[in-house]
Amino acid sequence: MGTINSAMSLISAALEADQAALNITSNNVANASNQSYTREVPNWQENQPIYLNGIAYSTGVTVTGGVSQRDRVLEQRLQQQQQLSSASSSLRSALTTLQGNFAPANGTSASGDIGTGITNFFNAYSQLESNPTSNPLRQQILSSATTLAADISGKAGSLDAQKSALDQSVNTIVMQVNALSVSLAEVNKQIQSLSPGQDAGTLEDQRQSDMSQLSQLIGVNQIMTESSGLSITTSGGQLLVSEGSAFQITTANVSGLTQLLLNGTDITTQLDSGGGQIGGLLTARDQSIPNTLASLDQLAYGMSTSVNAANNAGTDLDGDNGNAGNIFNAPMQVAGTALAMSVVMTDPNKIAAAGLGQGAGDNSNALTAASLATQAIINGQTPSDYFSNMVSTLGALVSQTTTENMALAASVTQLQTQRNALSSVNLDEEASNLEEFQRSYQAASQVFTIMNSIMASALNLGVETAVA
C-alpha cells in the first residue's frame, strides 16, 4: 500500500542517497591530484520492493558506498614493470659512472689513459734500443712505468670506491624496504578486519601505493590470500609480508661487502637478478664492477710478470747477469694486482738492456722487452688488443643497458597511462556528475516539498487552516 508516509520516507532516502553520491564526487575532486588515488563511483542500489497482497511497492534507492575503479591485474603488471625498470635504471646509472674511468682518449698524449700509458712504456724501451747506456733514456723507462702503474692502480682504486658507494646505497634501500614491509603488514591487518570480501577503497589505495614504492626498491611477487590479504615474497621466494606480519631484511658485513639476509637465508644472490633498485645496485656491485676489476687485474698481472721476466733475462749496467731485478712489484696472484701495481726499481742502471753475457752497449734485451708490445702476453692477446677489447666489452654493456632502460621506461609509461585512464580522477567527468547529482537532489527535494504539502492537506482534512 502506497501511503504518503511511505512516499515521504522513500524520498528522504533518495535525498540521503544523493547526498552520499555528492560526498563521493567531492572526495574524488579533493583527491584529483593524488596519483595513487583510485576514483570511486557511487554504487546505486535499488531497494528491495515490498510485496503486499501480490502488489509490489518500490522502496527507493540507496547508495551503498563508492566502488573503487581499480584493475588489480593492471596494477600488478605495472608494479612488475616498475621493478624491471628501476633495476635497469640503477644499473645504468652505476655503469655510467664506471665507464667514466675509461673515457676515450682524444690524442696520443692523453693523461690517465691506460692505453696511452701502455704504449708510452713500450716506446721508452724502443728508444733505448738506439742508445742502451743512456741514463736519460733509462730514466724515461722508469718514469713511464710509474705513470702506467699509477694509471692502472688509480682506476682500480676508483672502482673499489664505487663498489663501497653502491654498498652504502644498498644499506639505505634495505632500511626503506623494511619500513614499507611494516607499513604493508599494518594495512593488510586493517583491510582484513574491515573489508575482507570487497575492495577496501582508501585502504586498498594505500596498500597499492606502498606496493608500487616497494616494487621500485626491490623485486617482489605478490599473492592475494583469503579475506583480501596480500602475501609478498622476494622474487626468490622468501617471505617479506604475510597477513599482519612483516619480516625484516637484515644485513651482515662479509669481506667488506654487505650481504642481505631474510628469515635466516642469504638472499643477496637471488636479489641480484630480482629487479628493483636493489637488483640493479647488486648487479653493478657484484658483477659489473668485479668483472672490470678482474680484467684490469689480468692486464696488470700480465704486464708485471712479463716485463719483470724480461728484465731478469738480460744484463744491466752494473754487470748483473740474469738477476738485474724487478721493475714492477711481483704479484703473487692475479686478483688484486691492479690496485697494488707499482714500480719497485729506483736505479735506472738496473734496467737490463743488454743480452745475457754481453757488454753494456748491447741492446738485444731492450729489443726483447720492446717486442712484448706485440706479443700475446695478456691472456692470449697483446696489451693494446686486450685493453681495446676491455673497452668495447664495457661500452657494449653500457649501450645495451641504456637501450633496455629506454624500452622499459616506455613500457612503464604506457602501463601507467592505461592505469590512470581507468583509475584517475577526470575533473570534467566529476563536474558533470556533480551537476547530475545536484539536479537529482533538487528534484527529490522538490518532490519532498510537494509531499509535505499533500501531508498538510491530509492532516487538515480539507480545512485550509492550522497546519500549512
Partner 1 sequence: MRVDPFYIVNLSNSLDQTQVAQEQLSNELSSGLRISQIGQDPVAAAQNVELLNQINRDDSFTQTASLTKGILQVTDSALGSVVTQLNQAISLATEADNGTLNTSDLKSVSNQIAGIRDEVLSLANTNYQGVYLFGGSHTGATPFTVDNATMPPTVTYNGDQDVNTIVSPNGQSIQLNLPGDQIFTAPGMSVIDALNNLVVDFANGSSGSGIPDTSALNAALTYVSQQRVKIDNSITRLTDASSAITGESMQLTQAQTNLMQADIADVSTQLSLTQSQQTALMDVIAGLGQGSLFDKLVP
Q: Map the footprint of partner 1 across residues 284-323, applying CB under 8 A.
A: none
* Shortest separation between residue 242's beta carbon and partner 1, angstroms: 33
- Select from 45-53, 107-115, 209-217, 343-351 the region that touches partner 1 (CB under 8 A): 107-115
Nearer to partner 1 by Cβ, of 39 and 285: the residue is 39
CA 117 to CA 28: how far, in whole Å? 65
* Shortest separation between residue 166's beta carbon and partner 1, angstroms: 18
Q: Name which position in 247, 301, 328, 387 contacts partner 1 (CB under 8 A).
A: 387
Q: Is 231 in the site for partner 1 (CB under 8 A)?
A: no
Cell numbers linked to 90: 640503477
Cβ(300)–Cβ(338) under 8 Å?
Answer: yes
Q: Name which position in 99, 178, 259, 326 contacts partner 1 (CB under 8 A).
A: 99
Size of the residue set binding partner 1 (CB under 8 A) = 73
Q: Taking the C-alpha atoms of 151, 397, 378 and 133 in order, what is their torsion angle to the nearest 10 degrees?
A: -30
- In DSSP notation, 103-148 reads PPPSSTT-TT-HHHHHHHHHHHHHHHHH-TT-HHHHHHHHHHHHHH
* Shortest separation between residue 264's beta carbon and partner 1, angstroms: 40
Query: Binding marks (x or -) toward partner 1, 396..435, rule CB under 8 A?
Result: xxxx--x----------x--xxx-xxx-xxxxx-xxx-xx
Question: Restricting to residues 2-31, which ones interact with partner 1 according to CB under 8 A?
Answer: 29
- Select from 71-79, 120-128, 150-158, 167-175 the region that touches partner 1 (CB under 8 A): 120-128
Q: Name which position in 108, 171, 198, 227 contacts partner 1 (CB under 8 A).
A: 108
Q: Name which position in 48, 53, 106, 333 contacts partner 1 (CB under 8 A).
A: 106
Q: Name which position in 6, 62, 126, 143 contacts partner 1 (CB under 8 A).
A: 126
Of the candidates 268, 234, 264, the one whose C-alpha atom is nearest the C-alpha of residue 254 is 268
Q: Is 41 in the site for partner 1 (CB under 8 A)?
A: no
Q: Is 182 in the site for partner 1 (CB under 8 A)?
A: no
**H or E stretch covering 400:** helix 383-423
* Shortest separation between residue 418's beta carbon and partner 1, angstroms: 8
Q: Is 363 in the site for partner 1 (CB under 8 A)?
A: yes
Q: Is 349 in the site for partner 1 (CB under 8 A)?
A: no
**H or E stretch covering 366:** helix 364-371
* Shortest separation between residue 347's beta carbon and partner 1, angstroms: 17
Question: Who's near 272: CB < 8 A, 6+ residues apart?
Answer: 279, 282, 283, 286, 287
* Shortest separation between residue 388's beta carbon and partner 1, angstroms: 4
Q: Name which position in 23, 67, 395, 441 contacts partner 1 (CB under 8 A).
A: 395
Nearer to partner 1 by Cβ, of 101 and 221: the residue is 101
Nearer to partner 1 by Cβ, of 146 and 358: the residue is 358
Q: Is 97 in the site for partner 1 (CB under 8 A)?
A: no
Q: Taking the C-alpha atoms of 164, 165, 166 and 168 in order, what is their torsion angle to the nearest 10 degrees?
A: 90
CA 194 to CA 198: how far, in whole Å? 10
Q: Which residue has the cell 682500480?
A: 156
Kindly tell me the burial class for residue 107, based on how many C-beta atoms sit within 10 Å of its own C-beta (0-12, 13-18, 19 or more): exposed
CA 344 to CA 109: how far, in whole Å? 25
**H or E stretch covering 205:** helix 202-217
